[in-house]
Amino acid sequence: MNAVTTIEKTSANTDFFDRPYLLSIAGKLVDAEHSFDVINPATGKVLAQAPDASEEQLHEAIESAKTAFIGWSALGYEERQGYLERYADALQENRNDLVRLLTLEQGKPLETMAAPEVDQAIAYVRQIAKRRLPVEIVEDNDTHLVELHHVPLGVVGGITPWNFPVLLALWKVAPALITGNTFVLKPTEFTPLTALRFGEIAQEVLPAGVLSVVSGDKGLGPVLTGHPDIAKISFTGSTETGKHVIRAAADTVKRVTLELGGNDAAIVLPDAEYETIIPKLFWGAFGHQGQWCVGIKRLYVPRSIHEDFVEKFVAYARTVKVGNGLDPEVGVGPVQNRMQFEKLKGFLDDIKANGQNIVLGGEIDEDQSGYFFPITVVNDPSEDSKIVREEQFGPILPILVYDDVDDAVRRANDSIYGLGGSVWGRDTEAAVQVANRLEAGMVWVNEIHTQSVDIPFGGVKQSGLGTEQGDEGRKLFTNPKTVLIHK
């Protein structure tokens, strides 16, 4: 029996996988003069060609978004809601194909990771369509009325990474559109295909120029960040690139929202029922091949349980299969790209060179063609080691021992990053006390990775600037405009 799932194609477009990938600009699907290879990380082979847009094509997309802004921003929430709901319906019709394409270009397991990502993204579009930022009355007295309006910014430029190519893009697009902005998306060069397809789908339901999707190499990013007609950049990616974005945005005083790197700590407290939470901790670290911004990247456990914890954690990890994400038995797919794979090998070399204790994994099969990296657990490396200090963004996890909770909190906070974190303990109140002391934008207590359109999400320190989701996030797609009316 063939172990590889073949998901039925249910979209109206039966050639979803065969027809060329095209840019969507000004409501039209257009090719580029050049193209580039998109690699399937499970095979290391070329999956498809993506259009490598020219700077002129990106300018055209921005110009069309600027023109479209006039009509789109004037529509009002109800009409924009209708458009976004039709967009969610159209995405839903293509859902199975998008899921499969996501696994093919990104590597993540189809049923357990790709399907939830696409479903969540569609649900976000549908839910955000209903959100509003109404006019607020700031003062109303005998002499005057003061209103605070949340007015759209104009054209928003989105720059997205390769770990969640569908979700991270649509959770920028949807709030930007509902608040009245138009959008130009530049997906990463590593995983542009799903974005090109949902861009194509958008052209069937949205007015021309409201959402353009323009793929190309890294050089397009600076064109977007430097363009005078882009009012805001919504960026998710590495901290280093985020710094380039801020610098480029300065010239035209663009708004920026940056969701950057992290080195999230999970702290298991001495009273935690650790046998039961090990699966959650495992998937919190190794889900999506460890390639998520808020993945657990350092796991702190108390000395009292440390030995048994590591044994049970490793035993659980051994039950998880690494392989092609199309195989339904696979829990951890390949690393997304060669660059990241090499970076992870650098971590492994450092771990070995420093004689650190690898209790699981650590051996790479160099003969394989896909970018499969073994689930690797390092037991109690020193706090100043590379694997603890830097963001690994892949399936290597350090488990660290602590003697008292104050020490665990101090070590967790001793980082340039401050994205997420989690605390695990039986006494919820005590766990919340610890959570309150973590320097992070988002801390989960006895759960992990719950998110929704109404939960604000953002990083502190070098993990980010601004917020996504929630009214806080949606407001960042608007300017506050105060109107003072004399009575």
- Give the residue, chosen from 5, 238, 413, 479, that forms a contact with ligand ADP under the rule CB under 6 A: 238
Measured over all CA atoms, what is the biggest interatomic distance in the chain, rounded to whole angstroms?
Answer: 80
Nearer of residues 187 and 381 to ligand ADP, judged by Cβ: 187
- CB of 142 vs ligand ADP, minimal distance in Å: 51
Among 45, 132, 218, 352, binds ligand ADP (CB under 6 A): 218
Residue 340 or 415: the one with the smaller Cβ distance to ligand ADP is: 340
Mapped onto helix, strand or coil, the DSSP state of residue 285 is: helix
Question: Toward ligand ADP, which CB reaches closer, 358 or 465?
Answer: 465
Q: What tokens does 226 get? A: 């430097």
Q: Report the 3 state secondary structure along 20-58.
A: CCCEEECCEEECCCEEEEEEECCCCEEEEEEEECCHHHH
CB closer to ligand ADP out of 182 and 188: 188
Q: Does 245 bind ligand ADP (CB under 6 A)?
A: yes
Cα 346 from chain centroid (whole Å): 24
Active site includes 293?
Answer: yes
Q: Which of 422, 420, 423, 351 is nearest to 388 (CA)?
A: 351
Question: Any contact of residue 225 with ligand ADP (CB under 6 A)?
Answer: yes
Taking CB under 6 A as the criterion, the residue among 175, 199, 221, 287 binding ligand ADP is 221
Considering only the stretches 110-118, 241-249, 348-356, 453-461, report the one whose residues sit in contact with ligand ADP under the rule CB under 6 A: 241-249
Q: Report the residue number, 230 or 317, with the smaller CB distance to ligand ADP.
A: 230
3-state SS, 75-133, equals HCHHHHHHHHHHHHHHHHHCHHHHHHHHHHHHCCCHHHHHHHHHHHHHHHHHHHCCCCC
Q: With respect to ligand ADP, which residue has the nearer C-beta, 160 or 446?
A: 160
The verdict on whether 329 is a catalytic residue reads no
Residue 315 near residue 277 (C-beta atoms within 8 A) = no
Which residue in the shown chain puts its C-beta closest to ligand ADP?
A: 221
Site for ligand ADP contains 324 (CB under 6 A):
no
Per rule CB under 6 A, is residue 241 in the interface with ligand ADP? yes
CB atoms under 10 Å from CB of 466, counted, come to 19
Q: Between 131 and 186, name the residue whose CB sits nearer to ligand ADP.
A: 186
Q: Within 10 A of 375 (CB to CB), how many other CB atoms are there?
A: 23
Q: Which residues contact 62 (CB under 8 A, 6 or more apart)?
A: 155, 157, 184, 224, 227, 229, 230
Residues 147 and 136: beta-carbon distance below 8 Å: yes
- How far apart CA 73 and CA 75 sit, in angstroms, is 6
Q: How far is the CB of 12 from ligand ADP (least distance, A)?
A: 30
Q: Which helix (H) or strand (E) holds 473?
A: helix 470-475
Question: Nearest approach, Cβ of 439 to ligand ADP (angstroms)?
Answer: 22
Span interacting with ligand ADP, options 145-153, 214-222, 397-405, 438-446, rule CB under 6 A: 214-222
CB of 344 to ligand ADP, least distance (A): 12
Q: Write down the least CB distance from residue 208 to ligand ADP, Å.
A: 24
Site string for ligand ADP, 183-212 (x = CB under 6 A): ---x-xx-----------------------
Our CB check for ligand ADP shows the closer of 168 and 330 to be: 168
Residue 189 beta carbon to ligand ADP: minimum distance, rounded to whole angstroms = 6
Chain centroid, CA 3 distance in Å: 29
Contact status: 222 vs ligand ADP (CB under 6 A): yes
Site string for ligand ADP, 138-167 (x = CB under 6 A): ---------------------xxx------
In the complex, the smallest distance separating the C-beta of residue 305 from ligand ADP, rounded to whole angstroms, is 35
CA dist 289 to 20, 348, 461, 464, Å? 29, 16, 25, 22
Closest CA to 405 of 278, 272, 292, 280: 272
Place of tokens 């809601």: 81
The minimum distance between CB 245 and ligand ADP, in angstroms, equals 5
Residue 486 CB, shortest distance to ligand ADP, in Å, is: 45
The nearer residue to ligand ADP, 209 or 221, going by C-beta atoms, is 221
From the list 60, 200, 293, 391, the catalytic residue is 293
Q: Contact 55/223 with Cβ under 8 angstroms?
A: yes
CB contact burial 329-340 (16+ within 10 A = b; e otherwise): ebbbbbbbbeeb
If one asks whether residue 41 binds ligand ADP (CB under 6 A), the answer comes out as no
- Mark the segment that binds ligand ADP (CB under 6 A) among 174-182, 219-227, 325-333, 436-444: 219-227
**Residue in 60, 117, 259, 390 annotated catalytic:** 259
Which residues make beta-bridge pairs with 259? 236, 464
Q: Which of 185, 186, 163 is nearest to 174 (CA)?
A: 185
The residue ranges that bind ligand ADP (CB under 6 A) are: 159-161, 186, 188-189, 218, 221-222, 225, 237-238, 241, 244-245
Q: Which residues are known to be catalytic?
A: 259, 293
